[in-house]
């Protein structure tokens, strides 16, 4: 009796050692070894004969894995099961207490044992500019700006800010004096939640103060829907439309002007990595009043960045604000030009 048990144990042990994953090619060739993962149409396999190889799934007729694998399907379903051979370009999952055995086509499978996705992290840049002119004329200007973005599979958060100041020498009462000719502050953010890979809902807000333009505050809060037309490392483009509340307060020579109105909000964002050295960025948002289309506010910016090192760049940026119905003694157009140096993080 002891001998019988020993023999059975030995046979089962040999069978267990002999277990291995198998890949059968359409050509009829076969590999045995260990299935590591399947991702982006490539099956990574450690073969007994040649070691680790990446195999094109289009050249494989069948494959199996003896150890339970994490199977990700194109419809978003994820199960854990052994992979059993089935018909050509098909595989089966094993029966469990919760799921029956099922047969699937290779095309239904998005990935097998994909590596864990990296946790979303903040990326962005900070830039500063400074210029000074002395001699026949005197001007000094400085700027500090930042932008940051955090992108996950289901949402995206964007933050930005800018402070700009400029001083120049002007003749006042027959004397040359240094006066502030430009001083503005802007901070804002936007949150996008993706209902699908392309369609998202958003909420955004911004606050601006411009001392020289007598703008005490411009607060914009908006919400709506957007569509991500392109999203890649090289190029991104999205559009959005919704409603916004625009609140302004101007104070000029003790004259206070306030506006508080609901408007449409339509805009887009575009960025393009032209090559390894240059990046182009462009944003535009248009706020036409619901009461009168001719009464609108528009803000836009365009920027070109040139890499100096992997983390350092120089940039030139143009910012345009246009208010079709400005306060008294305030112009309709406000344009800023910024030249600076920045760091990516």
Q: Are 286 and 267 in contact (CB under 8 A)?
A: yes
According to the per-residue pLDDT averaged within each range, which of 11-20, 179-188, 208-217, 233-242 is highest? 233-242
Arithmetic mean of pLDDT over the chain = 88
Give the mean model confidence (pLDDT) for residues 309-330: 87
Indicate the burial class of 25 (C-beta count within 10 angstroms; 0-12, 13-18, 19 or more).
middle
Give the model's confidence band at 8: pLDDT under 50 very low, under 70 low, under 90 confident, else very high.
Answer: very low
Give the model's confidence band at 13: pLDDT under 50 very low, under 70 low, under 90 confident, else very high.
Answer: very low
Percent of the chain whose pLDDT exceeds 70:
91
pLDDT at residue 19, rounded to an integer? 55
pLDDT at 10 over 60: no
pLDDT at residue 271, rounded to an integer? 97
pLDDT at residue 177, rounded to an integer? 75
Distance of CA 84 to the CA centre of its chain: 39
pLDDT at residue 236, rounded to an integer? 97
Burial profile 261-280: b = 16 or more Cβ within 10 angstroms, e = fewer: bebbbbbbbbbeeeeeeebe
* Bridge-based pairing state of the strands 78-85 and 199-210: unpaired
pLDDT at residue 136, rounded to an integer? 60
Strands (E), 274-311: 278-288, 296-307
Q: Are 70 and 78 in contact (CB under 8 A)?
A: yes
Mind listing the pLDDT tens digit for each residue in 176-209? 777 787 789 999 999 999 999 999 999 999 999 9
Mind listing the pLDDT tens digit for each residue in 268-287? 999 999 999 999 999 999 99
**Distance from C-alpha of 76 to C-alpha of 230, rounded to nearest angstrom:** 21
pLDDT at residue 169, rounded to an integer? 75
Q: Which residues lie closer than 8 Å to 305 by C-beta, 6 or more apart?
A: 278, 279, 280, 281, 313, 314, 315, 342
Burial profile 105-140: b = 16 or more Cβ within 10 angstroms, e = fewer: ebeebbbbbeeeeeeeeeebbebebeeeeeeeeeeb
pLDDT at 328 over 90: no
Distance of CA 144 to the CA centre of its chain: 23
Instruction: Give 2-5 contacts, CB < 8 A, sequence gap 24+.
Output: none
Length of the chain: 345
pLDDT at residue 92, rounded to an integer? 94
Higher per-residue pLDDT: 12 or 39:
39
Higher per-residue pLDDT: 60 or 12:
60
Q: Are 258 and 264 in contact (CB under 8 A)?
A: no
pLDDT at residue 4, rounded to an integer? 44
Go through the domains of the chain in sequence order and give each one's CATH number: 22-112 (no CATH), 122-344 (2.40.160.40)
Strands (E), 13-113: 21-25, 30-39, 42-47, 51-56, 60-73, 78-85, 90-93, 102-105, 109-112
Give the mean model confidence (pLDDT) for residues 127-138: 75
**Distance from C-alpha of 212 to C-alpha of 181, rounded to nearest angstrom:** 6
Q: Are 318 and 306 in contact (CB under 8 A)?
A: no
Give the mean model confidence (pLDDT) for residues 123-150: 85
What tokens were used for 283?
Answer: 């944003």
Mind listing the pLDDT tens digit for each residue in 291-302? 887 889 999 999
Measured in Å, how far apart are the chain's first and last C-alpha atoms? 71
Mind listing the pLDDT tens digit for each residue in 306-316? 999 999 999 99
Q: Are 38 and 112 in contact (CB under 8 A)?
A: yes
Residue in 64, 70, 34 with CA at minimum distance from that of residue 52: 34
Q: Scanning the structure block, which residue is given the tokens 């809060």?
A: 221
**pTM (2 d.p.):** 0.70
pLDDT at residue 332, rounded to an integer? 85
């Amino acid at each position: 009796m002891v001998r019988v048990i020993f023999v059975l144990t030995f046979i089962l042990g040999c069978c267990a050692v002999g277990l291995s994953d198998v890949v059968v090619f359409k050509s009829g060739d076969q590999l045995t070894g260990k299935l590591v993962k399947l991702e982006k149409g490539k099956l990574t396999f450690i073969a007994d004969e040649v070691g680790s190889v990446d195999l094109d799934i289009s050249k494989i007729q069948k494959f199996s894995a003896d150890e339970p694998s994490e199977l990700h399907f194109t419809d978003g379903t994820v199960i854990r099961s052994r992979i059993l051979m089935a018909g050509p370009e098909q595989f089966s999952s094993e029966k469990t207490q919760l799921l029956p055995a099922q047969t699937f086509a290779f095309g239904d499978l998005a990935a097998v044992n994909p590596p864990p996705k990296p946790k979303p992290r903040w990326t962005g840049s900070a830039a500063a500019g400074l210029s000074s002119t002395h001699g026949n004329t005197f001007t000094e200007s400085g700027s500090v700006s930042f932008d940051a973005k955090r992108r996950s599979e289901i949402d995206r958060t964007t933050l930005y800010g800018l402070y700009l100041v400029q001083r120049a020498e002007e003749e006042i009462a027959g004397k040359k004096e240094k006066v502030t000719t430009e001083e503005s502050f802007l901070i804002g953010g936007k949150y996008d939640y993706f209902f699908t890979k392309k369609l998202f809902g958003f909420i955004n807000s911004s606050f601006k103060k411009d001392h020289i333009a007598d703008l005490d505050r411009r607060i914009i809060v908006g919400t709506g829907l957007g569509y991500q037309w392109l999203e890649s490392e090289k190029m991104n483009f999205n559009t959005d439309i919704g409603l916004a509340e625009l609140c302004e307060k101007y104070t000029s020579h003790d004259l206070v002007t306030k506006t508080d109105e609901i408007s449409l909000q339509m805009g887009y964002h575009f960025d393009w990595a032209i090559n390894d050295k240059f990046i182009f960025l462009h944003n535009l948002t248009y706020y036409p009043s619901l009461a009168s289309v001719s009464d609108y506010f528009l803000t836009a910016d365009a920027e070109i960045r040139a890499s100096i090192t992997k983390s350092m760049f120089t940039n030139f940026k143009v910012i345009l604000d246009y208010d079709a119905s400005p306060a008294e003694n305030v112009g309709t157009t406000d344009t800023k030009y910024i030249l600076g140096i920045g760091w990516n993080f």
